[in-house]
Structure formats: C-alpha cells, structure tokens
A and B are shown apart, each in its own frame.
Chain A
C-alpha cells in the first residue's frame, strides 16, 4: 500500500495505490490543521510509504509523511498515469492555477503558476458564485446552460466582483453573468497555455475540472485541442504522490 496525500489550501485529498491500482480515495475540508485532518484520513491503512504534496506538504513531513514532492511533480505523475502521451496539464485548485508541460516520458519540462492574486483559481469561482447567490454546483450548471455570454474585463477578483454587481444591477440575467465569469477564467488559463505552449491534448485536473462549464469553455478557447478529464480530477495530485511513493 502506498499513500499519497495532497494537502491543499481548501481540501485534503488522499489516494491509496496498492502497487497496481487506485484502491481508495478520500476528500475532506482542510480545516485549521490540515495535517491532523490528513492523519485521520490515513489512520486506517498500513502504508509502506506516505508521500505528501500540496501547500501543507512540509507540515505533513514534520508529522508523518516519509517524503514530499511538489504539486507540479505530483500532477505530472498522476496525469501520466491516466493519459500517457498527453504532454500538457492545466491544474486549477483552490488557491492557484498552473500549467505544466511534460516530455513523452512524463517528466516535467516547464511549468507556470498564476501570480499572487486569486483570479483564475477555484477561490475566484467560489467568490463569484456567492455574489450571484449560486451554490458551486448550480453555478457551473447554470453557466453551461446560458445561451449568451457577456464579457467580464477585470482579471482582479476585487474588480471582477464589482463588475459582476454592476452587471446584476443592469438587469443582465444571472446565468449570463455566470457564464461570463467562467469565460474569464477560461481566458486566463488559455493565455497561460499559449505562453507555455501545448500539445493536441490538454489534461485538466484539480477540483475545478469537475465544473462542466469550465471544461466546455476551456475547450472552446483551444481550437483543435481535446481537453481530457478523469472521473476524479481532484485526486490527481494525491495519486501522483502515491505513485511516487511506489517508485513509479
């Protein structure tokens, strides 16, 4: 048994690899002490090796993990497992978004992360959903269903929020604005991909990849590119960490 734990800014993810297959996984809120949360999650297993990744990786290493790797490497390993041959990854998590390019063997060649601000991250979508009074799930579905897309110009969370409020007050339907918010994130990701360069397929990982509208709009902005998503995009990092522990 090899366990990977991804201690992210919003959630802790855990994946169990038995040497051949992903046999279990869990996702829980990070809480105040993400390493305690993680310890609880792995308590039931007898692991040969526990590898931590994510923002809390060093904290985990102080308490229980045998090794740490960065999120970049973890996502590279996780995606290579599902989509060998895909050389571009977009990972959008709670607090950051990154694009990673791999070589044919799955090694990290180059990567880029968003700068300090929250724009283009899961947190940005959450804030915008809240200001439109949507739950996160509704937010993505409503945006997907919208038949028109308006334009949001601000990239900064604070300005974008006031733009959203002024749109509401101009009577623009809620779902149109929702779509616009998704569009602005997709634009940002497409921009990062254009800078880094990408292949014909792009694997989308991280919790935000569960949002159907994000997948759709990202695809639209990358003509000729197929966007690949697994059933469990949140745990790609944790799985990558487990695979690293297993020496994959």
Chain B
C-alpha cells in the first residue's frame, strides 16, 4: 500500500474572513499534517473505521469550522470551553455547539509568553497563544468562552483572555460538601441563563432531556471503545484511542457517536478474529494525569514507538470525560439540573481537595484495563496534578504497580531523556 502524504485541507478565504493570521496558520497546517502522517499513518493494521477520524483531522480547520459558522448564521450559539466541568448538555439543549479549546501545541506557546508568565501550564499558554496569535479557527469562531475556577493558571488567565474574546467564568468549588454542591447548582443555572440569552431562546424540559440523551449516548460510545481497548491483545493502538478522545471535543456529538460505535463494531469483529494491533506480547501501559490536548501525542508516540501499547487514559481527554452518565430518570427542569450537577460533581479533578476518589479510580482503571504499569503524566507547572502525584505514587507502591512519573511540556528538548526513562520503565516491567 502506498501512502500519499497526509494533508490538512486549507481554507484560506474562510480563514481570512475569520481574521486569522493566514500565512502563519498555513505553515502550522503543513507541520500538523506532517506530524500526523508520521505519528498516525505510519501505524500498521489500523481499523478501517479510523478513516472517519483521519478525515476529521484533515477537515479540522475547514469542514468542521464551516459547520460552526453555519450554526452561527442560524443564530445558534457557539461556545468555547476549557474544562470538562462545563455542562455541554445545556449548550446542546439551546441548539448550540460546544467546542473544547485546550491547546496541545508548542507552536503557539511563544505568542502566549509575550503576555503571560512563562512558568505556567503549557496547555493554558498554548490555548492563550492560539487566540493571541489568531492562529486557531475555533477560537476565532466562538461567540464567547466559558471558563471556570479550577486551577490558578486558568482562573487568572481568564481576566487577560477576556480582553481578546468575551470570557465568562463558572465558579467550580474546591470541595464537595453540600453547600458547595448548592453553589454549583446555582452556577449551572447561571450558565443556562447565559446560554439562553445568547441563543435567544428558553431551554424547555424536552430540550434538556434530549440533550442529556445525546451526551449520554456519546459518553456510552466512548465507554464502549475504552472497554474494547482493555481487551488483551488490544484491537486498536493507544494513539488512535487518544485521537478519538481528542476529536470528541470538537466533533458534532450525534455523528461522532455513530462513528465511534461503528468503530467499536469493527473492533469487536477484530477481537473475534484475533486481530491485534501491536505485537501480541506488547507491554500494556495505562496513562493517568493531566489532559493531552490535540496535537499532544508526545507520550503516546514514545511509548508506542518503544513497542508497548497504551490501553487507557485516566485523563480529562480520556475516562474523566466519559466515565459518568446523567441519570435520565430525573424529571422537571429542576430535577434534571440537579441530576446533571450530580453527574458533573463525580469528575475527580485534582483541583478538588481532598480528591480520594481519584486515587481509587486510577487503581480501578489499572485493573480494568489489564495494564502492566502506570505512567503518571503531568504537564509542567500544573501544581495540583504534580502534588497529587505523591498520593498516586504511594498507592501504586502499596499495590505493587510498576509506576513512572513524567512531568513534561510540549517542547522537544526532553524527548531523548523521556525515551530513556520510558524504555527503562518497559524493561523494568518486562523483567
């Protein structure tokens, strides 16, 4: 099979209309295409259903943007978010579109560092830089950003981001006592009011119930994919798994769900026919930690490049996004909003204290995924995940789970050292 070079499609006119820095963005497009080609198309034995997701990457700066602009033309709101605590269901219920704007690229970091301090999380810098440099069509297309009070880096960057794009903030508590949950529910209601205001419509009970169903179905499809990845030998690479979790943040949810389920059907066939992606004895690794936003494939490239396979991401771009569902039996607007808040409070981000649930969850996912070791990954300067590392490490020691902690950013400087550490970790598991 000859592989034609992968191309991310260019839409210079549309980009110009979005007031983007077109020449610069076009260069970034070529680099992303190359990286994707190297990381993804070089993989052997990929499931046929990955074609859809390849295409979602090819059209990442075009086809999907057109859909967003069409929605806007109809007066539907397009809202950018940075955290899985922002309830997408409410945006959907108002007929709007929710896109995750987290940045995973080194390319936009220098733009951010002209304004923000350098020693903050690369995800915040990358995302901020996309806006500051006008090099992300999603950022250019959103009506507004809805941030939240999770970590300090984000919380304080909203104030600066607000000067570039209207930014609202949802207060997410730091603890989960009843009075915190009450506050949370009030914040969810404020969010609903804001979304309704922009959409120019009131969300009905039916709207919300339908949106909850759509999002539950999407999360269930991702759960299904995740449990298929847990099969030994796994029918799909960790890189492809991560890619789908990343695409979940900008694709149209109903279509995405259909495609993920189609992929799952194919993977079930593969399992039946004993088709495995990596070598049968490939070491199985689970990753836990901070989100890996597109196109951050650094750890996956290194681990799978060394012949192992990643079978689970305990991350917001991973299980934290889809492990919990909203109870569909709740009725009435108030009842549904309570059920929704109940589901969101189950997300176990390290911004909460204490966060014992996450320690238990990491170990559970390790067992479920039949992994042989855990790589705990934290973005550089992410204080909450970096500190929570201590407890995860202790828990792994107690359970006798091989464990490696990596703190890294998006630059390529530490690739050589990380490669050594990851290979040594795999040797250690292999002994």
Contact = CB atoms under 8 A, between A and B. Distances in A.
B431 A108 contact: yes
B417 A72 contact: no
| Interface range on chain A (Cβ under 8 Å from partner) | 10 to 19
Nearest to A58: B419
Nearest to B397: A110
A64 interface: no
A202 to B, nearest CB: 19
Given A69-B427, A108-B428, A113 B416 contact: no
Nearest to A105: B431
A70 B423 contact: yes
Interface residues of B, number: 12
Nearest to B409: A116
A163 B268 CA distance: 63
Contacts of A96: 417
A113 B427 contact: no
A55 B423 contact: no
B420 A71 contact: yes
Contacts of A70: 420, 423-424, 427
Given A70-B424, A108-B424, A113 B431 contact: no
Contact of B417 (A69, A73, A109, A116): A116
Interface in A195-228: none
B414 interface: yes
A107 interface: yes
B407, B420, B421, B427 — which one has the most chain A CB atoms within 10 A of its CB?
Answer: B420
B416 A72 contact: no
A107 to B, nearest CB: 5
A83 interface: no
Contact of A72 (B407, B413, B414, B424): B424
A111 interface: yes
Nearest to B422: A70
Contacts, number: 35
Contact of A55 (B407, B413, B416): B416
Interface in B237-259: none
Contact of B414 (A55, A73, A111, A116): A116
Contacts of B420: 55, 70-72, 113
Contacts of B431: 107-108
Contacts of A111: 421, 424, 428
A155 to B, nearest CB: 15
A109 B396 CA distance: 13
Contacts of A55: 416, 420
A116 B406 CA distance: 12
Interface in B391-431: 407, 413-414, 416-417, 420-421, 423-424, 427-428, 431
A118 to B, nearest CB: 12
B373 to A, nearest CB: 12
Contacts of B428: 72, 107-109, 111
Nearest to B426: A70
Contacts of B421: 72, 111, 113
B145 to A, nearest CB: 32
B417 A113 contact: yes
B327 to A, nearest CB: 43
Nearest to B427: A73
Interface string A100-135: 000000011101010110000000000000000000
Contacts of B407: 115
A55 B416 CA distance: 7
A116 B431 CA distance: 28
A73 B424 contact: yes
24 contacts: A55-B416, A55-B420, A70-B420, A70-B427, A71-B420, A72-B420, A72-B421, A72-B424, A72-B427, A73-B424, A73-B427, A107-B428, A108-B424, A108-B427, A108-B428, A109-B428, A111-B421, A111-B428, A113-B417, A113-B420, A113-B421, A115-B407, A116-B414, A116-B417
Given A73-B424, A115-B407, 17 more contacts: A55-B416, A55-B420, A70-B423, A70-B424, A72-B421, A72-B427, A73-B427, A107-B428, A108-B427, A109-B428, A111-B424, A111-B428, A113-B420, A113-B421, A115-B414, A116-B414, A116-B417
Report the 6 A-B pairs with minimum CB-CB distance, sorted nearest first: A72-B424, A70-B424, A70-B423, A108-B428, A73-B427, A107-B431
Interface of A: 55, 69-73, 96, 107-109, 111, 113, 115-116
Interface of B: 407, 413-414, 416-417, 420-421, 423-424, 427-428, 431
